[in-house]
Chains A and B, each alone.
Chain A
Amino acid sequence: MAEKKAAQEKETEKAPSRDELEKSFKEYSVAEFFKKNRQMLGYSGKIRSLTTLVHEFVTNSLDSCEDAKILPEIRVEISQLPDEHYRLVVEDNGTGIPKKNVGQALGKLLAGTKFSNRAQKRGQQGIGAAYATLFAQITTGKPTKVKTGLGDGRVYECQVSVDVKSNEPSITDEKEYAGKFKGLRIEAEYAEVGYNRSEYGSYEYLRRTALANPHAQLSLVEPDNQITVFPRASKDIPNKPKNVQPHPLGITTSDLMDMAQVSSARKISSFLVSDFTRVSADKVKELQSLMPAVDLERAPKALAWSEAEELVKNFQKVKWIAPETDALIPIGEDQLEKSLKNLLEPEKLKVVERKPRVFRGGIPFSVEVAIAYGGKSGQHVGDARKGELTRFANRVPLLFDAGNCAITEAFKSLDLNRYDLKEFETMPVTILVNFVSVYVPYTGAGKLAISAEEEVVSEIKFALMEAARDISQYLHGLAKAEEQERRRLIFFKYIKEIAQALEDVTGRKASVLEPKLKKIAEERTAFLEAQEEGDPDAEKELEDIEEQFEEEVKNDG
């Protein structure tokens, strides 16, 4: 190792090519950069850091299973060790990782397979799992234990860490043996993390993941050894996301830079045509005429940040054909219904799926909303319930930074009064919003919140309104039925007294009058629309005099 490093350094000293220099600079900076800026990736706060780790592994597991059309079974185990260390084990039944790729997948930042292929996937940056490895290293100094099997009768185990300086994986303790294990098991030890059942904790993360992934079976072992299983609600595996190249209107400067770094194209111009959808040679010419100072015939790796910025700006000025919308994969009305019925057992459920729309002039997206009322719906706080708004982007729960999210903004703009949700804070209600797009406009690298683009916010609002209308109607009926029951009880309460008084007055037997009175009371409360008799004005006047009368009686003695 040391020898190799020394040799590298020697080589570098000799005659580094421009490419090599850039490469080493980039890789060096990535690991170092993230080490220093961990909060950008969600590693700030103890509870949240652990949730982020769970998130990284679980999303990878789900994606891996879906790719291979496997019904996911994911087991998460969190245990507390001395000195406030935690052990996290995540095990799935996915495809597993070929031995030669383990290092790349778990010990090298930005090396994931997702980065260069733009499908609507849960993760997009390929930093996650490797950063988890790095996080274990930083906080406890320990490598991450990996066990994987491809289903070919062989099992491979090793320990992985990241060489921070070179951003290269370091693999030790390798073992290979015969076994039936298929899938991936990760085990690592972390410090500076914490566990509880708050709305930011791993439990909540898995519960919400289960809501949005009815085909998955998730189980969690908590530090107190409590086991929770979120059972599978459906055996329909979502369609494999179609690979789509990014559309010029849906790209940010930093994305463009990243793409340019890994592109195999030789020139910026051909990179644009080959790596983007709807970009033709003519369109490149048009772009070039808009920015004559930038030479698009250079290698993509040579693209400078300021040039990328200018390119993105000019993308907005060119007329593009809209991207295809068939790449969107929503959870689906049917699946959502199964899922929420399975986990929440609601009294009333409404699922709304909206047609795809575009934002930023060309990025397709669609919105799914489900509102569940009653049963196990709502956030459980002790014995009490709280209405909850659960946010998702491509089925991934967004637990943090709610205040900056398009979903929260859309919800806030609803007039809850109008939808009988005025008491939302104390109602057994779960609202689920899933934002579906190949390109999710996150507000930051931590992928916590969806940027509040105008088209996005209003589309979410429409979906919420549509679902809320149904719930409102149900609640309205419920309130009416409750009112009827209340009235019935009031009437029944007095019947005995009245029958007896009437017997005293008229001699007519109370035992004869009572059943007749009950029958009338039943009839008068049987219909939801039954009107109370009586003149409201007269009623008010009667009330009016009560006070006056009281005074009079007082004087009267």
Chain B
Amino acid sequence: MAAKKNEKDMTQKEKAALIDIKIDELGQQLVKEIEAGQNPHLDIPIRGSGNVFYDAKAKQIMLGDKIAKRYLFNVAHSRRFMQTLLVASYVKKDLLANNLTATLRDLYYAKKHTIAGTKEDTIDEQKESDGAIVDLEVSLDTFRERLHLRAEPKGRMAGTLKVKDRVRDKVDTIDLERMGSGGWAVPSIVEQIEFVDSEIEYVLVAEKNAIFDRLNEDDYWKKNKCLLMTTAGQAARGARRLLQRISAELKVPIYALTDSDPYGWYIYSTMKYGSMALAHESERLGCPEMKFLGMSTSDIEHYDLSAVTIKAKDIDIKRAQEMKAYDWFKTKEWQAEINLFLEKKLKAEIQALSSKNLQYISKEYLPDKINAQDFLP
């Protein structure tokens, strides 16, 4: 933890230099093995159900300490080994050295070419280079953003808050009260963002764009002194990281608003606890203090929405059964909710509230829930 604190105080340039050194060390280690006539290898922590556990105290899905050795001279490994080194070379030589960031797709195109003397490409599909990127992340014990790689940005926000953003050396102060109907797009890398002039009392994260637009039109964030955000489906890394930073730095509660179905609940759990595939990043991306505002299956009854429900599909049932077994869904409240869902087999969208009237959500549902502190853990 001490090392992390130090890192936090570092400037962007110092952080980049640290990764540069880590990649160099990795390379030197391989050169050493080659010169000793050994089979060069990378130590890559295993990401998978067998090496993932739930840390109940930290409220995080964590990566275990199982490590796989990936050897250059092993037919099953050599291609991926090569791809991982291509990623390392690109990050160090092209991105860090020039202080540039790139998308995963940029990297894919930059490193894809036909291997001399063969008909084989270094990378066939982007998912291969994406996988190699994660390999490098975990073996350097760092994360994608530090490698100057960004995913497609996703998510928008508006609220009584100002942020400072930086594009290379240019700094912009953005007033999130003045973002019009569309809101401010959350960038894919948010490490450089600073929060200023916060007047927010909480953050409301909606799964759906439509809800953001509804509440923005209703001036919900202004009337309630909060920050409104949409993740537009499964939350992207930028949005998750930003939520965590707001939670930690501004110390305000964060409430999630999703459809009443297993898919929505899983989006919530990913934001809160992290995910299995990115378990190595839970510490950085998880938001353990987040609370679930709605919608739950019990909301359907409580708010008299039975007439506007959707019948659950087999895949929803299966997903719910799986989720019921996850350690991070083992609280009695969630178990009861999931059981209720499995019993009723009914889903509801947030927009179902519009069946009462268009502003029912901003004037009745949300204030009602927040005042009563009617949340799920």
Closest residue of A by beta carbon distance from B94: A504
14 contacts between A and B (CB under 8 A): A494-B78, A505-B26, A505-B27, A505-B89, A520-B34, A533-B69, A533-B71, A538-B69, A541-B49, A544-B48, A546-B131, A548-B277, A552-B275, A557-B153
The reply to whether the CB of B35 lies closer than 8 angstroms to some CB of chain A is yes
Q: Which of A497, A538, A544, A553 contacts B115 (CB 8 A)?
A: A497
Complex CA–CA separation, A524 to B40 (angstroms): 12
Residues in B with CB closer than 8 Å to A490 are 75, 78-79
Interface residue A506 (Cβ < 8 Å from any Cβ of B): yes
Interface residues on B, range: 35 or more
Chain A residues within 8 Å of B81, by CB: 494, 498
Query: Is B173 an interface position by the 8 A CB rule?
Result: no
Which of A227-235, A314-322, A511-519 participates in binding chain B? A511-519
Of all chain A residues, the one with the shortest Cβ separation from B154 is: A557
Q: Within the assembled complex, what's the spacing in Å between the Cα atoms of A552 and B280? A: 14
Whole-angstrom distance between the alpha carbons of A506 and B27 in the complex?
6
Segment touching A, from B7-15, B233-241, B251-259, B317-325: B233-241
Residue pair B76, A534 in contact (C-beta under 8 Å): yes
Asked whether A505 and B68 contact (CB < 8 A) given A494-B115, A548-B276, A557-B154, the answer is no
Closest to A543 in B: B48
B122 / chain A contacts, CB cutoff of 8 Å:
497
CB of A491 within 8 A of CB of B73, answer yes
**How far is A508 from B26 in the complex, measured between Cα atoms in Å?**
13
B166 at interface (Cβ–Cβ under 8 A)? no
**Residues of A contacting B277 in the complex (Cβ-Cβ under 8 angstroms):** 545, 548-549, 551-552
Cβ of A550 < 8 Å from any Cβ of B?
A: yes
Which chain B residues in 211-256 approach chain A with CB under 8 Å? 233-234, 236-237
Residue B37 interfacial (CB < 8 Å): yes
**Given A541-B51, A546-B131, 6 new contacts (CB under 8 A):** A491-B75, A501-B85, A538-B67, A542-B44, A548-B277, A552-B278
A21 within 8 Å of B (CB atoms): no
| Alpha-carbon gap, A539 to B51, bound state (A) | 12
B68/A506 in contact, CB under 8 A: no
A520 contacts B78, CB within 8 Å? no
**Complex Cα–Cα for A521 and B38 (A):** 10
Q: Which residues of B contact A546 (CB under 8 A)?
A: 131
Q: Ordered nearest first, which 8 A-B pairs have the shortest CB separation?
A: A555-B234, A538-B68, A505-B27, A557-B152, A504-B89, A506-B27, A501-B85, A545-B48
A535 interface residue, CB < 8 Å from B?
A: yes
Most B Cβ at <10 Å: residue of A534, A535, A551: A534
B366 to chain A, nearest CB (A): 26
A553 touches B78 (CB 8 A): no
Q: How far is the CB of A405 from chain B (nearest CB, A)?
A: 45
Binding site for A on B (CB under 8 A): 23-24, 26-28, 30-31, 34-35, 37-39, 41, 44, 46-51, 66-79, 81-82, 85-86, 88-89, 92-93, 104, 115-118, 120, 122, 127, 130-131, 134, 151-154, 233-234, 236-237, 275-278
Partner of B70, one of A524, A534, A551: A534
How far, in angstroms, from A552 to B67 measured CA to CA in the complex?
21
- Specify which of B38, B67, B131, B236 is in contact with A549 (CB 8 Å cutoff): B131
Residues of B within 8 A of A500 (CB): 89
Evaluate contact between A505 and B66: CB separation under 8 angstroms: no
- The answer to whether A523 and B85 touch (CB under 8 A), given A506-B24, A548-B277, is no
The interface residues of chain A, by DSSP majority, are classed as: helix
- Residues of chain A with a CB closer than 8 A to B104's CB: 553
Contact (Cβ within 8 A) B74 A533: yes
Interface residue tally of chain A, by bracket?
35 or more
Are A498 and B82 in contact (CB-based, < 8 A)? yes
A-B Cβ contacts below 8 A, count: 155
Say yes or no for A4: interface residue by CB 8 A criterion: no
**Alpha-carbon distance between A517 and B72 when the two chains are bound, in angstroms:** 10
A206–B344 Cα distance when bound, in Å, is 81
| Minimum Cβ distance to chain A for residue B191 (Å) | 17
Whether the Cβ atoms of B27 and A502 lie closer than 8 Å is yes
**Chain B nearest CB, measured from A552 CB (Å):** 4
Contacts of A516 in B (CB 8 A): 34-35, 37
Interchain CA distance A514-B19 in the complex, whole Å: 26
CB neighbours (8 Å) of B66 from chain A are 538, 541
Q: Does A532 make an interface contact (CB < 8 A)?
A: yes
Contact check, B72 vs A498: say whether CB atoms are below 8 A apart.
Answer: yes
Chain B residue nearest to A519 in the complex (CB): B37
Give bound CA distance, A539 to B236, whole Å: 28
Query: A552 to B276, alpha carbons, bound, how many Å?
Result: 9
When chains A and B are docked, how far (Å) is the Cα of A551 from the Cα of B66? 23
CA distance A553 to B278 in the complex (A): 10
One of A486, A497, A553 near B86 (C-beta < 8 A) = A497
* Chain B residue at minimum C-beta to C-beta distance from A551: B277
- Residue from the list A497, A520, A542 in contact with B68, Cβ < 8 A: A542
Q: Which chain A residue shows the least CB distance to B29?
A: A506
Q: Which residues of B contact A497 (CB under 8 A)?
A: 82, 85-86, 115, 122
The answer to whether B134 touches A549, judged by C-beta atoms less than 8 angstroms apart, is: yes
Q: Please pick, from B51, B74, B127, the residue contacting A550 in the complex, using a CB distance under 8 A.
A: B127
Tell whether A267 is near chain B: CB-to-CB under 8 Å: no
Q: Does A75 contact B (CB under 8 A)?
A: no
- Establish whether residues A539 and B76, one from each chain, have CB atoms under 8 Å apart when the complex forms: yes
Residues of B within 8 A of A534 (CB): 68-71, 74, 76-77
Choose among B23, B77, B115, B151 the residue that contacts A493 (Cβ–Cβ < 8 A).
Answer: B115
Complex contact A505–B276 (CB within 8 A): no
Tell yes or no: A487 within 8 A of B by CB: yes
CA distance A546 to B47 in the complex (A): 9
Query: Nearest Cβ distance between residue B317 and chain A, in whole angstroms?
Result: 19
Complex Cα–Cα for A550 and B47 (A): 13
Complexed CA–CA distance, A498 and B79 (Å): 10
